[in-house]
């Protein structure tokens, strides 16, 4: 069932996009993905949409201390496609961290060096 982003989800998407993105504030509706409760979301759009590219990644520790990896993906037409959350132990997400506890992904930090 499509729904708007929660405030925490919206903040996370905005954090990854950055303040100057043309996609900022054009989030639309999302549907929860069947990912075992890890929190991934599919942005509602045309039925023929496909994954295009990842435009940003970050990570945070869940309330239980387990690392959560986050990727924001665009579709082939550069529209928001999915917010992919992956908890490294595959357990259900307990909460999205406050922005002060969100950090660039380790993979990204290593490639920027």
What tokens appear for 65 in the block? 């201390």
What are the residue boundaries of the structural domains of the chain, listed by start?
Answer: 3-111
Per-residue pLDDT tens digits of the chain, which is 113 residues long: 899 999 999 999 989 988 656 666 668 899 999 988 889 999 999 899 999 999 999 999 999 999 999 999 999 999 999 999 999 999 999 999 999 999 988 654 444 43
Residue 108: name the closest of 54, 65, 63 by CA: 54
What H or E segment, with its residue span, contains residue 110?
helix 106-111
pLDDT of the residue at 91:
96
């Amino acid at each position: 069932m499509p729904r708007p982003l929660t405030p925490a989800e919206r903040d996370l998407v905005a954090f990854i996009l950055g303040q100057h993105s043309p996609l900022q504030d054009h989030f639309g509706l999302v549907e929860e993905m069947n990912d075992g409760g890890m929190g991934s979301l599919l942005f509602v759009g045309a039925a023929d949409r496909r994954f295009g590219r990842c435009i940003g990644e970050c990570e945070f520790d869940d309330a239980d201390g387990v690392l959560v990896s986050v990727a924001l993906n665009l579709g082939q037409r550069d529209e928001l496609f999915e917010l992919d959350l992956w908890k490294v132990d595959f357990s259900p997400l307990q909460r999205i961290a406050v922005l002060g506890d969100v950090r660039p992904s380790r993979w990204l930090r290593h490639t920027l060096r």
